[in-house]
Amino acid sequence: MATVDFWFDYSSPYAYLGATQIEAVAARAGGDVRWRPMLLGGVFKAIGTPNVPLMLAGQAKQQHYGKDMLRWAAWWEVPFAWPTRFPMNTIKALRVTLVSPDPAKFIHRAFKAYWVEDQDLANANVLATLLSDIGQDPALVAETENPTVKERLIAETNEAVRLGVFGAPTSVVDGELFWGQDRLGFVERALQGWKPKTA
Amino acid sequence: MATVDFWFDYSSPYAYLGATQIEAVAARAGGDVRWRPMLLGGVFKAIGTPNVPLMLAGQAKQQHYGKDMLRWAAWWEVPFAWPTRFPMNTIKALRVTLVSPDPAKFIHRAFKAYWVEDQDLANANVLATLLSDIGQDPALVAETENPTVKERLIAETNEAVRLGVFGAPTSVVDGELFWGQDRLGFVERALQGWKPKTA
C-alpha cells in the first residue's frame, strides 16, 4: 500500500487546510497517511529561511494570501478563522503529538483549536483540555518536558531537513516531495504511481 | 458572459503553463478570456519586489520549483523545457502583442518559442519570424519602437499594479484576483459566480 508522509506544524495555516484533506486524498488513491510533526521554525533555521516568510511578503501578496486561505476553506467547505495570536509557539503541541496514543485524533483537534477556535496552543492547560476533549489522558502534557520526547522532535525536524523539506505542509510519496495544500492533486496521483519526469 | 482577464508576461514559466489552459478553463465555465500583457519587471519595480523573486528563493525551494514546473507540464500534457536564457527581456515581445491583429495567436506562439523551443524573445528577427509563422505581418516588429505602443505597455503595466497584481499569471474575474496557474480551479468556479467570503 502506498503511503504519504504528511509533514506539518500547527503554526502553518496551509498545513491546517491540507490536514483537513490528506486522509481523503490517500483514501481515494488506496493509500494511507503517516503524520510527521516537525518544528517548522527549526527547519527554517536549519536552511537559512527568514522566520515566518509569510510575514515578509509584500503587502499585495500578503493580502492575497489572506484571501487565498479563505478561498481554500470555502473550496473544501471547512471552517477557518485567522487567529489573534500569530505566529504561535507550537513546540509543546508537537511534543504531545509524538506521545499521543492516537496522533491523528490529536492532530485534528489541535489544528482546529488554533485555526478555527483561536485557542493558545502554547498553553499547557489548553493542551490538557484538548487531550480530554478526545478522550486521551491530559497528564500526557507532562511528557512535553521529557528530554527523550524533546530529542524525538529535534530528530524528526532534522529528518525533514534531510529530506529537503522547506515549508509546510509537505507531502512525501516514494521519495518525491510535494509542497503545499495546493499540490494534493499531484499527491493523489503520485500515490497511484504517477512519476512525471522532473529532471 | 463572464470574462477572465489573464495578466501575463512571457518571462514567467507559470504564466506559460497557465496560458496553455486558460481558454479551456473559460470555455468550461461558459466565459471568455481577455489577454492582458504586462511588463512583470515593471510591476515588481513599482511594488518594491526584488526582481526575479524565483532566483532569490533558497536552494531547496528553487529545486522544488524546477520539479514543480515539470509536474504541471506533465499534469496538463504540455511541453516544457527550461530555457538557456533566463531571465528574458520580453519588452519587445509584449509590445508586438499589443499591435498583433490576433493577439491570442501570437501569445501562444511566443510562449512556445521561449518555454519549449528556447528561442530568444529579445531578438527582433526572432519576433518577425514568429509573426510569419502564424501568418501575421513580420513588419509589425517595427511597431516596438513606436512611442504610442511603448506608452500603451506602460499604461497596461500601471493598470496591473493599480488592480493589485504582484505576480504572473494573475487571473481577474469580477474584480477578484487569482494568482497562479495553480488557482485555475478557483478561476473556473469564479467565472460561474463563485464568491467565497474573503474578509
Q: Is residue A199 part of a domain?
A: no
Give me the pLDDT at residue A149, please: 98
A and B: number of Cβ contacts within 8 A: 77
Q: Is residue A59 part of a domain?
A: yes
The interaxial angle of helices B147-163 and B40-47, nearest 10 deg, is 50
Number of structural domains found in chain A: 1
Do the Cβ atoms of A74 and B49 come within 8 Å?
no
Q: Is residue A123 part of a domain?
A: yes
Residues of chain A with pLDDT under 70: 50-56
A-chain residues near B183 (CB < 8 A) = 68, 182
Q: Which chain B residue has the Cα nearest residue A81? A: B199
Q: Cα angle at A54 between A68 and B160, to 5 degrees?
A: 55
Give me the pLDDT at residue B48, please: 84
CB-closest option in A47, A71, A185 to B58: A47
Supply A185's cell numbers.
492533486
Give me the pLDDT at residue A83, please: 98
Continuous H helices in B21-90:
22-28, 40-47, 53-56, 59-76
Do the Cβ atoms of B185 and A64 come within 8 Å?
no
Average pLDDT (B133-160) is 98
To which residue does cell 507559470 refer? B14
pLDDT tens-digit readout, B90-114: 999 999 999 999 999 999 999 999 9
Q: Is residue B10 part of a domain?
A: yes
Give me the pLDDT at residue A8, please: 98
Supply A98's cell numbers.
509524538
Among B107, B98, B114, which Cα is nearest to B134's?
B107
Q: Is residue A149 part of a domain?
A: yes
Give me the pLDDT at residue B27, please: 98
Q: Is residue A196 part of a domain?
A: no
Q: Is residue B198 part of a domain?
A: no
Stated pTM of the model = 0.95
Supply A184's cell numbers.
494534493
Do the Cβ atoms of A179 and B64 come within 8 Å?
yes
Give me the pLDDT at residue B52, please: 57
Do the Cβ atoms of B196 and A166 come within 8 Å?
no
Q: Is residue B197 part of a domain?
A: no
Q: Is the pLDDT of residue B35 over 80?
A: yes
Do the Cβ atoms of A68 and B196 come within 8 Å?
no
State the number of CA atoms in the 13 A half-sphere of A99 facing the CB.
Answer: 24
CATH number of the domain bearing residue A60: 3.40.30.10
Domain that holds residue B88: 3-191
Give me the pLDDT at residue B143, please: 97
Give me the pLDDT at residue B162, please: 96
Give the residue from A17, A43, A67 with the most B CB atoms within 10 Å of its CB, the best one to mutate.
A67
Q: Is the pLDDT of residue B181 over 90?
A: yes
A-chain residues near B199 (CB < 8 A) = 67, 70
B-chain residues near A58 (CB < 8 A) = 47-49, 166
Task: Confirm if A168 and A40 have CB atoms less than 8 A apart.
Answer: yes
